[in-house]
A and B are shown apart, each in its own frame.
Chain A
Amino acid sequence: MTALRRPPDPYVADAGSVRAVHQFLPALMPGDACGIHTLAAQEALREAGFESEIFCEAIHHELDGKGRHFSEFPAWAAGSALVYHLATGSVLADYVNARPEPLVVDYHNLTPASFFRRWDMSVANAVSWGRAQLSMLVARTALGMADSTYNELEMIELDYRRTVVVPILLDVDAETVDVDPATLARLQADKAGGGTDLLFVGRLAPNKAQEDLIKALVMYRRAYDPLARLRLVGRPATDSYQAALDGFISDLGLDQAVTIASGLSDSQLAAYYRTADVLVVLSEHEGFNTPLVEAMRHRLPVIAYASCAVPETLGSGGLLLPDKSPSTVAAAVHRVVGDPALRDELVRAGSDRLAHFDLNASKRRFVNALTFLTGVTV
């Protein structure tokens, strides 16, 4: 048996020898939490005096110039540390694994492949690949970074020796929100005819269990508000799951009541948050769930099923349900929407919780997590 190649341990440079921190992520996309986080991290690193570039496999045209193809990364980058953002399988993982520089893996969660196998083997294989790469990088990684304790525990389970939680870097300042007036006007016109608006934001994916939201809507319309609507905002993760949701909606005669919107700009999305009455999250699996924080930012009350990282992200900033039977969810929506005092309390609790995700504080945590490599504290 050949000896296993194991890099020196710990795989770190001398503290203070790192002058540049470059980030690698598979795809830089607008509106994607991972991309937003990476751009904010770049800003934080540059503010702290580091040289910092973003290297990707693919860059959306709207973000041209924000990142470079990883083949442009120099063959010799002494004095650099690398941050790899892992949320799917990618050749970039193999690339950073083979690099000599100290490596930080920032883990943004992988949905278990079992959620996708029935729907789309290619998606299932991509997340399985990512999980194998998360294991592969253990021996090579100086620091495992996670955006929730839930994700950190997965890293610890895989034997990452040094780990830290840094919340996803998000602008949570309610004052800076830009709302698209046209979308706002259209949604407000719908609302003028009556009916409660339930909102869910996130990819159309089996782990997000949008079918459970539809079931809850059925119960809510029967028992409390026959005019209620459900707005699902998000790109489909797989066509087959979207087709099943479409079939379900149309079989239940809810074509008018359930709308699916995808490809929204930030300001259009803001209009959805502004006009909704409640954000309802019934996901089976979440590694962080940014929309929970976005809802707090937009002063929208949150009702969420307590699974995986959802309780951790939500904290006491919303109503957590221990079960998500459609009738229970419907009753919860009715209670929150129909009781202004409770609604206000939830919104206030959300605003309090928001302080935890303060962008400047998170940026400092990000930079300071690297102090053992860089010697720099901010």
Chain B
Amino acid sequence: MAEADEVQSLLEELRRTVEARREDGFYPAGLEDDLSAHFRRIVMHRVAPDLSRLDASMERLRAVPGLSPDRIPSDSGVPGGPALHRGLARLLGRQTQGILEQVEELAAALRAVADELSWAVRQASTHVHTDLIAQIDTLQDRLSALERQPAGDAGPMALAELSRRLEHLERAEEARTFRPSYSAEAFEAAFRGSQYDLKSRYRDLASRLAGCSPVLDIGCGRGEFMELLTEEGVTCSGVELDAGLAEAGRRRGLDISEGNGLADLAARADQSLGGVVLIQVVEHLTAPELLNLVSLAADKLRPGGRAVIETVNPQSLYVFARAFYLDPTHDRPVHPGYLTFLFRQAGFDGIEIDWRSPPPPDEILQPVGEPGADANYERLNQLLFGPQDYALIATR
């Protein structure tokens, strides 16, 4: 059929013919639907066996009367036959009764078995039906959809990988947003010593920033180091994540804002700072954050400006036995070699490491006066009881 118009008009004609036949009564109403419904019924009942014959047999079985000697015929055409039968029946009555009882027992057991079997067949045939097939269909469709995915497009695998990463991110985020039920102030007071102790501990470090105004103290806590800077005549501001500590510092008249120090640093104008200080902060940072910190410091410090980073010394094993794991927010210790490398890469020179806080003398191994043993103790002391902290001082 070459011409589309021809085909269209033919189809139109077919529609009119069908209508005419319908009107002329060739097709009873609903015949087409009935045909389809009938075939569907055949399909649906395909799995169910025809149980009508079984039902009929069971009915017949139930209708069979119980066994009785009375139902054994005793009539006879032979003269005197019935009397003979009755006589025999009397003679054999007990034996017959005994046999009948056993047969009746057997028959009852068989009826019970037949009932059970009939029930079981009906259960299977009514339950293995379309709902189950529909479920299998759904599963198979999902399977086919997966199978139809082009090779190389590892859809399900990519999904599993994504979900693995998501879980990892969620765990990391949970760790990042660790919010202890105790206050940071209480923690500082318990483990970092009094404000007086802290100030005496850091006075020398503050003096390294003389003439470096303005200084930004990231993670300034209650602002003890800022007070030392002020005493040196250095103007400074601080950023502190913990609201309680920031507020405590502000009460003492210090310029402390509450927030993320890295964000604060990033917001500063390039070369606008004379100093950046982080006291016991970098061990709380992730590796990318640390990288970010160093490059931001390089941008924001003016030439001659100084970065002062004080943190725990992972080269001293004593640190891990005593201080580091006291604070659950410590992310990872930062090796002085790595920190030096980072600052050098960022263009700082005059990098200096200041070893600080040696363990108390009474905790370190003492010489015993034997040269060989004492040399060994010395080496062990270096490994086990090295300085607990170090400060890196880098000049831009």
A: residues with CB less than 8 A from B are 1, 4, 6, 112-114, 117-118, 121, 124, 128, 131-132, 135-139, 157-159, 211, 215, 218-219, 222-223, 240, 243-244, 247-248, 251-252, 316, 318-322, 325-328, 330-332, 334-335, 342, 345-346, 349
Cβ-defined contact, A327 with B27, below 8 A: yes
Given A114-B141, A325-B32, are A6 and B152 neighbors across the interface (CB < 8 Å)? yes
User: Which residues does chain A contribute within 8 Å of B140, judged by CB atoms?
Assistant: 113-114, 117, 124, 128
CB within 8 Å for A131 and B161 given contacts A114-B137, A124-B140: no
Question: Which B residues between 1 and 51 are near A, CB-CB below 8 angstroms?
Answer: 1-2, 7, 10-11, 13-15, 17-18, 21-22, 26-27, 31-32, 35-36, 38-39, 42-43, 46
Do the beta carbons of A334 and B17 come within 8 Å of each other? yes
Assess A4 versus B7: contact at CB under 8 Å? Given A124-B140, A128-B144, A135-B147: no
Docked Cα-Cα span, A112 to B148, in Å, equals 11
5 contacts between A and B (CB under 8 A): A114-B144, A117-B133, A131-B148, A222-B31, A244-B39
Specify which of A135, A211, A222, A243 is in contact with B148 (CB 8 Å cutoff).
A135
What residues on A are CB-neighbors of B2 within 8 Å? 316, 349
With A114-B140, A131-B148, A219-B32 as contacts: A244 and B42 at CB distance below 8 Å: yes
CB of B142, distance to nearest CB on chain A (Å): 12
| B136 contacts chain A at the CB level, 8 A cutoff | yes
Q: Is the CB of B46 within 8 A of A240?
A: yes
User: Whose C-beta in chain B lies nearest to the C-beta of A131?
Assistant: B147
Judge whether B1 and A318 touch: CB under 8 Å.
Answer: yes
Task: Among B7, B31, B144, point to the contact of A112 (Cβ < 8 A).
Answer: B144
Residues of B within 8 A of A215 (CB): 32, 35-36, 39
B21 near A335: Cβ-Cβ < 8 Å: no
Kindly list chain B residues whose C-beta atoms are within 8 Å of the C-beta of A327.
18, 21-22, 27, 32
Closest to A243 in B: B46
Within 8 A of A (CB), among B225-241: none
Contact of B27 among A222, A252, A342, A349 (CB under 8 A): A222
With A158-B148, A158-B150, A244-B43 known to touch, is A218 a contact of B35 (CB < 8 Å)? yes
Closest 7 pairs between A and B when the two form their complex, measured CB to CB: A159-B150, A223-B26, A331-B17, A138-B151, A132-B147, A331-B14, A223-B21
**A325 to B27 CA separation, bound complex (whole angstroms):** 13
With a cutoff of 8 Å between Cβ atoms, the chain B residues found around residue A328 in the complex are: 14-15, 18
Known: A117-B140, A158-B150. A223 touches B27 (CB 8 A): yes
Against A, the Cβ 8 Å flags (1 = close, 0 = not) of B126-168 are 0000000100110011011001111111100100010000000
The one of B42, B152, B157, B161 that contacts A159, using a Cβ cutoff of 8 Å = B152
Q: List 15 other contacts, CB 8 Å, given A158-B151, A215-B32, A328-B15.
A: A1-B161, A118-B43, A131-B147, A131-B148, A138-B152, A215-B35, A218-B35, A248-B38, A251-B38, A251-B42, A319-B1, A320-B7, A321-B11, A330-B18, A335-B17
CA distance A136 to B154 in the complex (A): 12
Give a binary string over B245-272; 1 marks a CB under 8 Å from any A CB, 0 the rest: 0000000000000000000000000000
Complex Cα distance, B33 from A326, in Å, reads 10
Q: Which chain B residues lie closer than 8 Å to A6 at the CB level? A: 152
**A131 near B144: Cβ-Cβ < 8 Å:** yes
- B interface SS class: helix
Instruction: Say whether A244 contacts B38, CB under 8 Å.
Output: no
Main secondary structure of the interface of A (DSSP, over half): helix
Determine the distance from Cα of A244 to Cα of B11 in the docked complex, in whole angstroms.
32
CB closest residue in chain B, given A125: B140
Whether A222 touches B26, Cβ cut-off 8 Å, given contacts A327-B21, A349-B2, is yes
Contacting pair A138 B17 (CB below 8 A): no
In chain B, what residue has the closest Cβ to A349? B1
Residues of B within 8 A of A112 (CB): 144
CB distance from A335 to the nearest CB of B (A): 6
Q: Which has the most chain B C-beta neighbours within 10 Å: A139, A328, A331?
A: A331
Partner of B14, one of A1, A158, A335: A335
Which residue on chain A has the smallest CB distance to residue B136?
A117
Q: Kindly provide the distance from the CB of B40 to the nearest chain A CB, expressed in whole angstroms.
A: 10
Closest B-chain residue to A346, C-beta based?
B1
A211 to B39, CA, bound (A): 8
| Separation of A248 and B38 alpha carbons in the complex (Å) | 8
- B148 and A319 within 8 A (CB): no
CA distance A318 to B151 in the complex (A): 39
Q: CA separation between A251 and B251, bound complex, in Å?
A: 97
Question: Given A1-B161, A319-B10, A335-B10: A159 and B39 within 8 A (CB)?
Answer: no
- By a CB distance below 8 angstroms, the chain B residues around A248 are 38-39, 42
> Which residues of chain B are within 8 angstroms of A325 by Cβ–Cβ distance?
18, 32
Residues of B295-341 at the interface with A, using a CB-CB cut-off of 8 Å, are none
* In the bound complex, CA of A322 to CA of B149 (Å): 31
Q: Tell me, rounded to whole Å, the shortest Cβ–Cβ distance linking A277 to chain B.
A: 17
| Nearest neighbor of A319 in chain B, beta-carbon distance | B1
Q: Kindly identify, within residues 170 to 193 of chain B, every residue whose CB is under 8 Å from any CB belonging to chain A.
A: none
B149 (CB) vs chain A CBs: closest residue? A135
Do B147 and A345 touch (CB < 8 A)? no
Q: How far is the CB of A295 from chain B (nearest CB, A)?
A: 14
B221 smallest CB distance to A (angstroms): 44
CA distance A37 to B7 in the complex (A): 32
Chain A residues closer than 8 Å to B39, beta-carbon distance: 211, 215, 244, 248
A334 CB, min distance to chain B CBs, angstroms = 7
Residue from B11, B15, B143, B151 having most chain A Cβ neighbours under 10 A? B151
Cα distance A322–B141 in the bound complex, in angstroms: 27
Q: Are the CB atoms of B11 and A322 closer together than 8 Å? A: yes
Q: How far is the CB of B242 from chain A (nearest CB, A)?
A: 41
A330 cross-chain contacts in B, Cβ below 8 A: 18
- Nearest A residue to B143, CB-CB: A128
Given contacts A113-B144, A118-B133, A322-B11, contact A159 B27 (CB under 8 A): no
A246 — nearest CB in chain B belongs to which residue?
B42
Are B46 and A244 in touch, CB under 8 angstroms?
yes
